Amino acid sequence: MHVSFRPPKPATPDAGKRRKVLITGASGQIGSKFAAAAHEDYELSLMVTDARHEHSLAIQNYGKVLEGRLQDIERLKELCADIDTVVHLAADSSPVSTWDSLHENNIVGTYNLLTAAKAAGCRRVILASSIHAVSGYPSERQVKTHEPVNPGDLYGVSKCFGEAMGRYMAEREELSCIAVRIGCHVPNERIHQMKNPSDGLKSWISPRDLVQLFKLCIENESINFAVFHGVSDNRFKQLDISDARELLGYAPRDDSFAICEAVQAGALPETEARTRPVDPKKSGLRDEL
């Protein structure tokens, strides 16, 4: 793995003060859950594209809801002002997205956000990367963070860019960045929809484990740059989490296989499937081919 450390500095923020954290994509599935879990620990600014949308209204009790777009770098600078840490979740998150959308949201958008955070003097940006950055490896192989990226689709390519841009900002621009490769993120009660390890059990991360991992990334004062894998303590893990355990103290509490067995035994209720179908034949290049 590649991890770089920063010189010791006084812990931030000052005693008695809560860190100011900006969450982009705050009304999304991951952002809203993190805001709900973290609003008592941090002073949150919640970036959304439309503050009047029902998903934005649902998070208004967790922090200050503010409108912003990744394409507006001047607005991003305003939102990053006086912020300690940015949790950057806003993106096109579809594995079958085509280049135009990925370029606008995940390439240009990530560049704009990191540039704005640097200009505003933020301490750290936590980048939501994805298992798709290494999904080109065989599913039966456990991937280590030190191994080369191997994206399985253009969405994964865009996440590789984010990791590379984050490392550049940390090593050359003195903006600490931690990239978290998020695995399969669905609620515990929907585990039953994943019939076997190839359907996501090996890469699953529970909402509470992801919240824990994000908080550890926010609180760490020594790391300058790192890539960590975001999966739970599954019986079989497609992504290795040993460095997150060692360097952050990550201690995931959930196991997808145990939860799946509990659902099948009737200990947990089944729910209606709401997963988005993905056509494996679509590559993201389909508009040009």
What is the model's pLDDT at position 21?
98
What is the model's pLDDT at position 4?
78
pLDDT(234) > 90: yes
pLDDT(58) > 90: yes
What is the model's pLDDT at position 139?
86
Q: How far apart are CA 187 and CA 2, in angstroms?
A: 31
* Residue-wise pLDDT tens digits, 117-130: 999 999 999 999 99
What is the model's pLDDT at position 198?
62
Question: Which H or E element spans position 261?
Answer: helix 256-264
Mean of pLDDT values over 188-212: 81
Among the residue ranges 12-26, 28-42, 88-102, 191-205, the one predicted with the least confidence is 191-205
Q: Fold for 3-9+16-264, please state it.
A: Rossmann fold (3.40.50)
pLDDT(10) > 60: no
State the Cα torsion 68-171-174-183 to the nearest 10°.
Answer: 40
**pLDDT band at 190, cuts 50/70/90?**
confident
Q: pTM value?
A: 0.90
* Residue-wise pLDDT tens digits, 66-80: 999 999 999 999 999
Contact between residue 237 and residue 190 where contact means Cβ atoms under 8 Å apart: no
pLDDT(283) > 70: no
Residues β-bridged to residue 227: 179
Q: Which residues of 138-149 are buried (b: 16+ CB within 10 A; e: fewer)?
A: eeeeebebeeeb
Mean of pLDDT values over 159-164: 98
What is the model's pLDDT at position 271?
39
SS3 letters for 82-130? CCCEEEECCCCCCCCCCHHHHHHHHHHHHHHHHHHHHHHCCCEEEEEEE
Each domain of the chain, given as residue ranges in start order, spans 3-9+16-264
What is the model's pLDDT at position 275?
34
pLDDT(268) > 80: no
What is the model's pLDDT at position 13?
63
* Residue-wise pLDDT tens digits, 214-225: 999 999 999 999
Mean per-residue pLDDT over the chain, rounded:
89
List of residues 6+ apart from 100 with CB closer than 8 A:
287
Q: How far apart are CA 1 and CA 13, in angstroms?
A: 29
Among the residue ranges 163-177, 224-238, 266-280, the one predicted with the least confidence is 266-280
pLDDT(64) > 60: yes
State the Cα torsion 62-102-121-210 to the nearest 10°.
Answer: 40
pLDDT(206) > 70: yes
What is the model's pLDDT at position 270?
46
Question: Which H or E element spans position 259?
Answer: helix 256-264
Question: 280: cis peptide before it, omega within 30°?
Answer: no
* Residue 198, token pair as written in the block: 């190839």
Q: Which conformational region is residue 193 in: left (phi greater than 0), alpha (psi within -120 to 50 degrees), or beta?
A: alpha
pLDDT(278) > 50: no
